[in-house]
Amino acid sequence: VADPAELRVALFGTGFMGRTHSIAYAILPSFFPELPLVRRQVVVDVTEDLARRGAHQFGFAEWTTSWQEAIARSDIDIIDIVTPNDSHEPLANAALAAGKHVLCEKPLALTAAQARAMADQAKQSKGVAMVVFNYRRAPAVVEAKRLIESGAIGRVLTFRGLYLQDWAMPDGTPWSWRFSAERAGSGSLGDIGSHVLDIASFLVGDVVAVAAAAETFVPKRSLPGAAGHAAVDVDDCTIALLRFQGGAIGTLEASRFSHGRKNHLSFEISGTKGALSFNWERSNELNFYSAADSSNVQGFRTIVMGPANPGGDALWPIPGIGTGYIESQVFQVGEFVRAIVHGQEEGSSFAHGFKIQTVMEAIAAAAQNGAWTPVSTDETK
């Protein structure tokens, strides 16, 4: 389409995620100078005002309110979808049909069936399609992966994954699309639990069966800028037991009602030779326990990520500089662009997004039926 040394992106949506993806495109060359430049070409949003403001703030050359127009442009290489969940499928399918590369926010879709259709289409399209799971890009999480693969903690026995927030507490936020099953698919499970499941998949392996409970603590919420209330028909909190392919067992918690936990994506993985733990609220740190240490000095090491850790060559000269959310999105976008250049999809392909969606669907079903529920093993075509 364009100069091979450069790609052009159309951004669909100007919310928080649109903002962070834009920043990632803007500073990508500072981290990965070997990759093609991604020109921030056009922003799409539902009103002129939102689109115009997005273009200004995020450094895009143009804006429009017509997503069809953006997809139709031959000079656009990438469609970046950061809209509410119910629009992921139509937008991604249209973009893939037009031969674009697609980067789509999680969760991939509203249902596993929808996600499967998207993954099928992605397989058949020429564009690279990737779902955003930025947290797994954090150097500490990638170091955890490397240590597990090296055998540093032995065979994994147990997993505990939490994603806890508290912004949705009773006196808090009014109704939004995030509280609607029709628009979001699910509540805490898809919004934040999906990240836990992605990390569980990345670090431990496939989940094969689940038991679960889900609660909606606040059944209706005030409508913003309007009289009256709207019903909440998604989960405020989901908890689950997980059984993994390799024999490990684990727990998952996803809650928007966990006072004091602000963006607490954490995990602990215990194996036969050691253990790893991580908490995004201290995202520069990985905790590692090795039973190979001398018995008098065994303890969790708090490793401050730095040049010796994954991604360290792209990052800062010493550990402890402070790598945050922005860098996680730079790594995410970097992987996406690298996949475009090399013509191969990285780990968080649409097929992977579909797999995560099947686990989510099993958890939601288990919360309803009160029994251990197997995860569907359907494959994409």
Q: Which of residues 232-251 bind its own copies (CB under 8 A)?
A: 237, 239-241, 243, 247, 249-251
The bridge status of strand 264-271 relative to strand 156-164 is antiparallel
Q: Does 297 bind its own copies (CB under 8 A)?
A: yes
Report, in Å, the least distance between residue 196 CB and its own copies.
Answer: 13
Report, in Å, the least distance between residue 77 CB and its own copies.
Answer: 19
Which positions from 347 through 376 interact with its own copies, judged by CB under 8 A? Answer: 370-372
**Region from 112-120, 198-206, 301-309, 346-354 binding its own copies, contact rule CB under 8 A:** 301-309
**Region from 96-104, 122-130, 293-301, 357-365 binding its own copies, contact rule CB under 8 A:** 293-301
Q: Does 33 bind its own copies (CB under 8 A)?
A: yes
Which H or E element spans position 241? strand 237-244
Q: Is 187 exposed, middle or buried (0-12, 13-18, 19+ CB in 10 A)?
A: buried
3-class secondary structure, 105 = strand
Q: Does 212 bind its own copies (CB under 8 A)?
A: yes
Q: Does 308 bind its own copies (CB under 8 A)?
A: yes
One residue of 145, 300, 338, 376 binding its own copies per CB under 8 A: 300
* 274/331 Cα distance (integer angstroms): 28
Q: Is 40 exposed, middle or buried (0-12, 13-18, 19+ CB in 10 A)?
A: buried
One residue of 68, 272, 344, 368 binding its own copies per CB under 8 A: 272
* CA-based R_g, the chain, Å: 21
Q: How far apart, in Å, are the Cα atoms of 22 and each of 65, 105, 155, 168, 218?
A: 18, 13, 40, 26, 34
Please tell me the count of residues contacting its own copies according to CB under 8 A. 99
One residue of 222, 326, 368, 381 binding its own copies per CB under 8 A: 326
Q: How far apart, in Å, are the Cα atoms of 208 and each of 182, 190, 205?
A: 27, 18, 9
Angle between helix 350-369 and 194-203 (nearest 10): 120
Q: Does 200 bind its own copies (CB under 8 A)?
A: no
One residue of 186, 258, 349, 357 binding its own copies per CB under 8 A: 258
One residue of 74, 126, 170, 227 binding its own copies per CB under 8 A: 170
Which of 276, 275, 304, 278 has its CA nearest to residue 291? 275
Which H or E element spans position 56? helix 48-58
* 324/331 Cα distance (integer angstroms): 11
The dihedral through the CA atoms of 113, 115, 118, 120 has a sign that is negative
Q: Does 204 bind its own copies (CB under 8 A)?
A: no
Report, in Å, the least distance between residue 16 CB and its own copies.
Answer: 5
One residue of 325, 346, 347, 376 binding its own copies per CB under 8 A: 325
Q: Does 324 bind its own copies (CB under 8 A)?
A: yes
Q: Does 23 bind its own copies (CB under 8 A)?
A: yes
User: How many CB atoms lie under 10 A from the CB of residue 191?
Assistant: 22
Closer residue to its own copies, CB minimum distance, 127 or 271:
271
Enter the tokens of residue 141. Answer: 């999480």
Report, in Å, the least distance between residue 155 CB and its own copies.
Answer: 9
Q: Does 295 bind its own copies (CB under 8 A)?
A: yes
DSSP code string of 340-352? HHHT---TTBHHH
Closer residue to its own copies, CB minimum distance, 21 or 101:
21
Q: Does 94 bind its own copies (CB under 8 A)?
A: no
Which positions from 54 through 93 interact with its own copies, judged by CB under 8 A? Answer: 56-59
Report, in Å, the least distance between residue 20 CB and its own copies.
Answer: 8
